[in-house]
């Protein structure tokens, strides 16, 4: 079994969903691994990874709207506010989603469904450079 690992840096623009499927697929292709598993791990606690609809942007907007209502940015609800009023809600949103994903690989390609894309979900108001460890294993 072979292993290949690369750090993917993504500059976010504040609260948003950034499609990273092409960048991840490029890393899988560079690995030379034909069949195996791609593991993604986001090295942050106020952003998350998501596999979701990639055809209709309304889906992403509906998700963002739902989470805004589910976890409001209300300073009276939270004790932790050291890094700003949006920080604790960002941590909660990350806890409700994922910081890692695993995607099978066949023929050197991610085996995502027709309508699936990989997204980095920035939960903070300000943009940041986010780091994702992309680990590809297989043969």
The predicted-structure confidence for 79-95, as pLDDT tens digits, reads as follows 998 888 999 999 999 99
Confirm if 110 and 34 have CB atoms less than 8 A apart.
Answer: no
Is-above-0.85 flag for pTM? yes
The predicted-structure confidence for 94-123, as pLDDT tens digits, reads as follows 999 999 999 999 999 999 999 999 999 999
> Strands, DSSP E only, in 22-85?
36-42, 47-53
**CATH assignment of 2-138, given 3.50.50.60, 2.60.120.460, 1.10.10.10, 3.40.50.150?**
2.60.120.460
Confirm if 64 and 127 have CB atoms less than 8 A apart.
Answer: no
Rounded distance between C-alpha atoms, residue 104 and residue 11, angstroms: 26
Output the CA angle 15-125-55, nearest 5 degrees.
5
Domain boundaries, the chain: 2-138
Rounded distance between C-alpha atoms, residue 108 and residue 94, angstroms: 30
């Amino acid at each position: 079994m072979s292993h290949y690992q690369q750090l993917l840096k993504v500059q976010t623009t504040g609260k948003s969903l950034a499609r990273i499927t092409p960048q991840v697929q490029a890393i899988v292709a560079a690995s030379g691994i034909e069949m195996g598993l791609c593991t993604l791990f986001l090295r942050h606690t106020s952003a998350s990874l998501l596999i979701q609809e990639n055809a209709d942007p309304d889906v992403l907007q509906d998700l963002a709207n739902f989470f805004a209502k589910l976890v409001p940015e209300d300073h009276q609800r939270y004790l932790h506010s050291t890094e700003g009023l949006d920080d604790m809600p960002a941590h909660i949103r990350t806890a409700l989603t994922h910081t890692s994903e695993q995607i099978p690989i066949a023929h050197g390609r991610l085996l995502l469904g027709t309508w699936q894309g990989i997204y980095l979900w920035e939960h903070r108001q300000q943009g940041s450079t986010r780091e994702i460890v992309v680990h590809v294993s297989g043969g």
